[in-house]
């Protein structure tokens, strides 16, 4: 038993020391090592108030994301992929900000490991995208991917997954396209729609039925705000979206998109 515990400890230590983060911006890629990032000239100790994953204030050694994404434009699109396959779709613009809501790559120091996310869960490391002053940018909980293994520049979601797009005849600033943008920001990391998307976590939000078809409006809004107020079970993973993260006007736009897509069902190929 002692030998087994020692072996497990050594494997964990090796895993932490050997952690790598691939950043692929299309024009070139770089694989960052934990030690390299901890010693980055712009790394600093930061405090994140009311951390989304830990539900309390946390201290991290972190590097501003803008410095790791040099060469990107605000209109570019990124995907952050976690060790468990969670894939967060991220607009580059907010990640490049150096004022207001600012994105940081937090690096777990093997000598000072972060606490577990839950009793039977690992920590948020080895790499975690966190935000200072997130309210200033209406940053969604889905924009805090943890256990990140890869950050890559990709084509926009509508190009990669046409089945997600609203009616192409709509104007670019149509409220339904605004709702589509909110769906990408808040939902696509966990849910597919019409079978399209990279997520393997939550249920499809249109096949066989859209939640707008079986939830009344008031209950669907309540579910999005506080999922466990309607469906409570220990393994529930869906976070609540408060009005500070998803204002009522944006929630209406998101629901408008889902209702629209209920009339544009496409069976997965």
Say which CATH superfamily domain 19-154 falls into.
Oxidoreductase, molybdopterin-binding domain (3.90.420.10)
**Cβ atoms of 185 and 88 closer than 8 Å:** no
Burial class (CB in 10 A: 0-12, 13-18, 19+), 19: buried
| Phi-psi map region of 91: left, alpha, beta (phi>0 left; psi -120 to 50 alpha) | beta
As given in the structure block, the two tokens for residue 160 are 């990669």
**Cβ atoms of 82 and 12 closer than 8 Å:** no
Taking the C-alpha atoms of 162, 166, 172 and 177 in order, what is their torsion angle to the nearest 10 degrees?
-110
CATH fold of the domain at 160-262: Immunoglobulin-like (2.60.40)
Backbone angles phi, psi at 5, to 5 degrees: -65, -40
What tens digit of pLDDT does each residue of 208-218 get?
Answer: 999 999 998 78
Domain boundaries, the chain: 19-154, 160-262
- Structural element, H or E, at residue 157: helix 157-160
- As a whole-number percent, the residues of the chain with pLDDT over 90 amount to 70
Query: Residues 72-96: what's their mean pLDDT?
Result: 92
First to last CA, the chain: 50
Residues 6+ apart with CB under 8 A from 241: 140, 141, 186, 224, 225, 251
**pLDDT greater than 50 at residue 124:** yes
pTM of structure: 0.80
Report d(CA 266, CA 269) in Å as an integer. Answer: 9
What tens digit of pLDDT does each residue of 215-231 get?
Answer: 987 899 999 998 888 77
- Evaluate whether 19-154 and 160-262 have a shared fold: no
Residues in the chain, overall count? 269
Query: pLDDT at position 235, please?
Result: 64
**Cβ atoms of 219 and 227 closer than 8 Å:** no
Query: Residues 115-141: what's their mean pLDDT?
Result: 92
Per the model's pLDDT, the better-predicted residue between 191 and 7 turns out to be: 191
Tell me: cis bond preceding 101? Omega within 30 of 0 counts: no
Report d(CA 212, CA 194) in Å as an integer. Answer: 14
Query: pLDDT at position 92, please?
Result: 94
Query: pLDDT at position 229, please?
Result: 81
Mean of per-residue pLDDT scores for the chain: 88
Report d(CA 216, CA 219) in Å as an integer. Answer: 5
Using the structure block, give the residue that is written with the tokens 């894939």.
Answer: 87
Q: Which of 61, 59, 63 is nearest to 48 (CA)?
A: 59
Neighbours of 258 (CB within 10 A): 20
């Amino acid at each position: 038993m002692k030998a087994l515990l020692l072996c497990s400890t050594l494997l964990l230590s090796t895993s932490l020391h050997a952690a790598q983060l691939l950043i692929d911006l299309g024009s070139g890629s770089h694989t960052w090592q934990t030690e390299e990032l901890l010693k980055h000239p712009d790394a600093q100790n930061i405090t994140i108030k009311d951390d989304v994953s830990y539900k309390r204030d946390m201290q991290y050694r972190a590097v501003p994301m803008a410095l790791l994404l040099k060469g990107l434009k605000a209109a570019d699109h990124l995907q952050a992929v976690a060790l468990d396959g969670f894939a967060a779709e991220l607009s580059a613009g907010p990640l490049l900000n150096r004022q207001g809501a600012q994105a940081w790559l937090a690096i777990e120091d093997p000598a000072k490991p972060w606490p577990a996310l839950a009793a039977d869960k690992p920590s948020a490391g080895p790499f975690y995208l966190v935000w200072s002053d997130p309210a200033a940018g209406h940053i969604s909980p889905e924009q805090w991917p943890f256990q990140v293994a890869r950050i890559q520049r990709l084509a926009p979601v509508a190009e990669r997954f046409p089945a997600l797009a609203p009616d192409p005849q709509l104007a670019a600033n149509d409220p339904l396209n605004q709702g589509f943008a909110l769906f990408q920001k808040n939902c696509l990391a966990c849910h597919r729609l019409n079978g399209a998307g990279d997520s393997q976590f939550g249920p499809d939000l249109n096949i066989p039925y859209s939640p707008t078809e079986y939830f009344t409006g008031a209950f669907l809004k309540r579910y999005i705000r506080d999922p466990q107020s309607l469906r409570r079970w220990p393994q529930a993973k869906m976070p609540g979206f408060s009005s500070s993260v998803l204002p009522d006007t944006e929630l209406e736009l998101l629901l408008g998109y889902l209702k629209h897509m209920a009339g544009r069902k496409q069976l997965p190929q």
